[in-house]
Structure 1
Amino acid sequence: MIILKRLLRDRGAVIALAIIILYVVLGFAAPFVTVHDPNHIDTANKYSGISLQHFLGTDHLGRDILTRLIYAIRPSLLYVFVALFISVLLGAILGFVSGYFLGYIDALIMRMCDVMLAFPSYVVTLALIALFGMGAENIIMAFILTRWAWFCRVIRTSVMQYTDSDHVKFAQTIGMSDLKIIHRHIMPLTLGDIAIISSSSMCSMILQISGFSFLGLGVKAPTAEWGMMLNEARKVMFTHPEMMFAPGIAIVIIVMAFNFLSDALQIAIDPRISSKEQLRSVKKGLVQS
């Protein structure tokens, strides 16, 4: 609750949360907030400008850009949420087990992480696309296969740090079970760290899935996706540059929102970070003067 109160005092964090919630709501409620079919083709009305019927105009097939922009939230953001949740869940379970029990279990899990982290996510994604074909499902699978190991390592380090604290050692001394110790004394302390790395990881995952779709390796047509919309707009970027603005701005806004949220979470969890930055800026100004 204290962390939440600190977070809500940060105006940037509140704005970032509002933007993320707005995106999620629009993604779920896309059929109810739009009047057009995202895949409806009307070549007689292609490249139409901004009007009351089409607020952002239409693309090369006469499809409403705003409608496709809203429907694109699902593969560009909501699918990434699913991949992130599964990755964090797997990484947290193995990270807690590895960081708390140590010994042979820790060595085995860490070797598994080493193997998975030896392959960059781009390489794993390209391999899955080569084996199973294009599609958002393969990109999501690649995210899960590569990200869980990274989350596991980070969470393990955090768990090992809190395991050495006095209140955990006291709980072990009085005979409290390991599951209760993890649930009551270690998990609440690590939730902040997990939230920080999750919010920062969302940025790279959104950019990756949009990047693969831009290259034609992600979401299959005619499904709307921000990267695919940028790829379609690239062909007419000189004659109709406005087509690139909408998906590009949508990506920039959501990535900036998660970046601001990640920074705000770090300051909310450890307020000393903000004071250190302020002190560093003051010293820098004194040196320059």
Structure 2
Amino acid sequence: MFIVLRLFQNKGAIISILIILLYILLGVFAPYVAPYPPNEVAIEDKFDSISLDHWLGTDHLGRDVLSRLIFAIRPSLLMVLIALIISVGIGSVLGFIAGYFKGIVDSIIMRICDVMLSFPSYVMTLALIGILGIGLENILIAFIMTRWAWFSRIIRTSVMQYVEMDDVKFARTIGISHFNIIVKHIVPLTLADIAVISSSAISSMILQISGFSFLGLGVKAPTAEWGMMLNEARKVMFSHPEMIIAPGAAIIIIVLAFNFLSDALQIAVDPRFSTHMKKKQVKRGIMT
């Protein structure tokens, strides 16, 4: 509760949350918000400039850029959120098991994580896309397979700290089941840590899916996706700069929002991360 209160005292966090919620709502209600269908072709209207009919103009096929930008939220953000939730779910379960029970169980899970983390995520993702093929579903599967181990290792480290707390030791002593101890005593304490690493991870996932789509390895045409829109606009980036500015700005804004939220969450969880607090501590001689 105190973490939430501290979070909402941060203006940057509030703005970031509002931006993220706006993106999510636009993506969910895209068919009702977008002025045109995303793949509606009108060759006679190609490269129309910004107007009341087309607020961001049209592309090389006469498709409304604003409509495609809104529909692109679905693969670029909403699908990435689903992949993130699955990755966090798998990583959390294994991290809780490894951190709580330790011993041989911990060793087995961590050795598997070591194998998964021994390859750079970009290289691993590219390899999986090469094996599974190009497409949104395959790139999301690749994200899940390359991310769960990272979440598992971080959550396991967090759990191992909380297992040594007095209330957890007391719960074990009086015979409360392991499941109830994890759910009631450890999970609530780790939620803030999970939120911090999740908000940080999703930024890189958004950039990756946009990058792969830009290279032709992600979402297939004619599906609207920000990276795909950048790829389509690069040939006319000087004659029609609005074509490349719109999807580029959409990516930058949402990535910055998640980065600011991640920083704000970290400060809310541990105020010592605040620059303002660090300056005070330095003045008092607490930190050097």
Settle same-fold status: TM greater than 0.5: yes
- AA aligned to 1:236 is V
Partner of 2:216: 216
Indicate the RMSD between aligned Cα atoms, in angstroms. 1.5
Q: Percentage identity across aligned positions? A: 66
The answer to whether the 8 Å contact 2:266/2:273 transfers is yes
Structure 1 regions of 5+ residues with no counterpart?
284-289
> Which residue of structure 2 aligns with residue 202 of structure 1?
202
Q: Map 1:52-67; keep pairs closer than 5 Å.
A: 52-67=52-67
The answer to whether structure 1 residue 277 and structure 2 residue 278 are counterparts is yes
Distance in 1, matches of 2:184 and 2:59, equals: 54
Residues paired across the two proteins, number: 284
d(CA) in 2 for partners of 1:132, 1:268: 40
| 1:77 aligned residue | 77
**Residue matched to 1:31:** 31
Deviations 1:148-167 (A, max 9, x none): 00000000000001111111
Asked whether the 8 Å contact 1:73–1:225 carries over to 2, the reply is yes
Q: What is the TM-score normalised by the length of structure 2?
A: 0.95
- Aligned counterparts, 1:190-269, within 5 A: 190-269=190-269
Residues 129, 142 of structure 2: 8 Å contact kept:
no
Q: Take 2:113 and 2:165, find their aligned partners in 1: how far apart are those partners? A: 26
Q: CA deviation at 1:119?
A: 2.3
The aligned residue for residue 172 of structure 1 is: 172
1 CA distance for matches of 2:178 and 2:34? 51
Q: In the alignment, does 2:139 pair up with 1:139? A: yes
Name the CA distance, whole Å, in 1 between partners of 2:177 and 2:19: 42
Given that residues 134 and 219 in structure 1 are in contact (C-alpha distance below 8 angstroms), is that contact kept between their aligned partners in structure 2?
Answer: yes
Q: How many angstroms does 1:128 deviate by? A: 2.5
Query: For residues 270 and 122 of structure 2, what CA distance do their matches in structure 1 show?
Result: 33
CA distance in structure 1 between the aligned counterparts of 2:278 and 2:252, rounded to whole angstroms: 25
Q: Give the secondary structure class of the aligned counterpart of 2:8.
A: helix
Map of 1:96 onto structure 2: 96
1:129 deviation in Å? 2.4
Contact 1:7 1:13 (8 Å CA) reproduced: yes
How many angstroms apart in 1 are the aligned matches of 2:198 and 2:268?
15
SS at match of 2:60: coil
Cα deviations by residue, 1:200-228 (Å, 9 ceiling, x for unpaired): 00100000000000101100000000001
How many Å separate the matches in 1 of 2:72 and 2:89?
26
TM-score w.r.t. length of structure 1: 0.95
* Residues 200 and 259 in structure 2, CA contact (< 8 A), matched pair in contact too: yes
Deviations 1:48-98 (A, max 9, x none): 111111000001111000000000000000010010000000000000000
Opposite residue 10 of structure 1, the aligned amino acid is: N
Mean Cα deviation higher: 111-120 or 22-31: 111-120
What is the distance in 1 between the residues matched to 2:146 and 2:277? 34
Residues 10 and 236 (structure 1), Cα distance of their counterparts in 2 relative to 1, 3 Å cut? same
Deviation at 1:35, TM superposition (A): 2.5
Deviation at 1:238, TM superposition (A): 1.7
Structure-2 separation of matches of 1:167 and 1:281: 34
- Structure 2 gap segments, 5+ residues each: none
Aligned AA (2:132): F
Q: Whole-Å Cα distance in 2 between the matches of residues 80 and 177 of structure 1?
A: 35
8 Å CA contact retained: 1:125, 1:138: no
Secondary structure of 2:236's aligned partner: coil
Distance 1:58 1:280, change over 3 A: farther
1:68, 1:281 → 2: CA distance? 50
Letter in 2 for 1:198: S
Q: Is the 8 A contact 1:203 1:259 kept in 2?
A: yes
The answer on 1:125 being equivalent to 2:125 is: yes
The Cα shift of 1:170 comes to 1.4
